[in-house]
Amino acid sequence: MAAKKRIGILISGRGSNMVSLIEAARLPDYPVEIACVVSNRPDAAGLDRARAEGIPAIAIDHKLFPSREAFEAELDAALRGAGVELVVCAGFMRKMTAGFVESWRDAMLNIHPSLLPSFKGLDTHARALAAGVKVAGCTVHVVRPELDSGPIVAQAAVPVLDGDTEESLAARVLAAEHRLYPHALKLFASGGAVISGERVEADQGLVNPADPLFWPPLD
Ligand code: GRF
CA dihedral in degrees (112, 51, 187, 193; nearest 10)? 60
pLDDT per residue as tens digits for the range 114-139: 999 999 999 999 999 999 999 999 99
CB 156 within 8 A of CB 138: yes
| Minimum-distance ligand 1 atom for the alpha carbon of 18 | 13
Catalytic residue flag (residue 125)? no
pLDDT in tens, 152-200: 999 999 999 999 999 999 999 999 999 999 999 999 999 989 999 999 9
Ligand 1 pocket residue status of 113, Cβ below 6 Å:
yes
Instruction: List, in sequence order, every residue forming a beta bridge with 111; answer none if it has no partner.
Output: 140
User: Does the C-beta of 137 come closer than 6 Å to ligand 1?
Assistant: no
